[in-house]
C-alpha cells in the first residue's frame, strides 16, 4: 500500500504495489500503448480521455489529457529510463503547475502467474500533493487491475 517517506528536508513520496493477473509484458503495454492506457488511466471513463501522446523512449515526452468533474487536466513529462516489460522512469508535471516537477518509477516484475507492479512517485511539492496523487494513482491502479482481468 502507500508508504509515505519524509526524512529531514526530503520531499514527500509514495509507493504503491499491486499484483496484477497479467504478464509483465501486458502490464508494460498498458502503460506504453495509448489505446490501452486510455482504457484505465485517470479517475473517469475511457470517454474522458482527450489525448494520450506517448513517445516512449529515453528523452521522449508524453502528454496525457483528460476531463474529470467538468475540468480538463493535462499532465506532461519526459521518459528518463525505458526498459521494455520491466521499468519506466519519467518526470511528471501538471500543465497548471509546470514548476512542480516530480518523478515516477513504474516497475513490473514476474510474480507467480502474474506481475507485481510497483509505482513510486517522489519529489512532491508538499504533503497535499502527495495525498492527492495517492488518491489518483490508487483509483487508476484499481482500473488497471480490472482492465488486466477483463483482458486475460
pLDDT per position as a tens digit, 107-148 = 999 999 999 999 999 999 999 999 999 999 999 999 999 999
**pLDDT at 44 (0 to 100):** 78
Q: Where does residue 8 fall: left (phi above 0), alpha (psi -120 to 50 degrees), or beta otherwise?
A: left
Confirm whether 8 is domain-assigned. Answer: no
For residues 73-94, give the mean pLDDT: 97
**pLDDT at 10 (0 to 100):** 85
Best CA proximity match to 138, nearest among 47, 22, 16: 16
**pLDDT at 2 (0 to 100):** 47
Confirm whether 6 is domain-assigned. Answer: no
Residue 24 lies in domain? 14-151
Q: For position 39, which CATH number holds?
A: 3.30.530.20
Best CA proximity match to 27, nearest among 111, 136, 91: 111
**pLDDT at 8 (0 to 100):** 53
Mean pLDDT is lowest, of 22-31, 34-43, 51-60, 80-89, for 34-43
Q: Tell me the whole-structure pTM to 2 decimals.
A: 0.90
pLDDT at 5 exceeding the cut of 90: no
Do the Cβ atoms of 77 and 60 come closer than 8 Å? Answer: no
Best CA proximity match to 69, nearest among 146, 141, 3, 139: 139
The mean pLDDT of the chain is 92
Domain count, the chain: 1
For residues 74-100, give the mean pLDDT: 97
The helix (run of H) or strand (run of E) holding residue 14 is: strand 14-20
More confident residue, 138 or 10: 138
Amino acid at each position: 500500500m502507500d508508504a509515505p517517506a519524509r526524512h529531514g528536508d526530503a520531499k514527500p513520496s509514495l509507493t504503491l504495489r499491486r499484483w496484477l493477473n497479467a504478464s509483465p509484458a501486458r502490464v508494460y503495454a498498458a502503460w506504453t500503448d495509448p489505446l490501452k492506457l486510455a482504457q484505465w488511466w485517470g479517475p473517469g471513463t475511457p470517454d474522458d480521455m482527450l489525448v494520450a501522446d506517448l513517445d516512449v523512449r529515453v528523452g521522449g515526452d508524453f502528454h496525457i489529457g483528460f476531463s474529470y468533474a467538468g475540468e480538463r487536466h493535462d499532465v506532461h513529462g519526459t521518459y528518463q529510463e525505458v526498459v521494455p516489460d520491466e521499468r519506466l522512469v519519467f518526470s511528471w508535471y501538471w500543465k497548471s503547475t509546470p514548476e512542480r516537477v516530480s518523478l515516477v518509477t513504474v516497475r513490473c516484475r514476474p510474480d507467480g502467474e502474474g506481475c507485481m507492479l510497483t509505482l513510486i512517485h517522489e519529489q512532491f511539492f508538499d504533503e497535499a500533493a502527495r495525498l492527492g496523487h495517492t488518491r489518483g494513482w490508487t483509483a487508476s491502479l484499481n482500473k488497471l487491475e480490472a482492465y488486466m482481468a477483463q483482458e486475460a
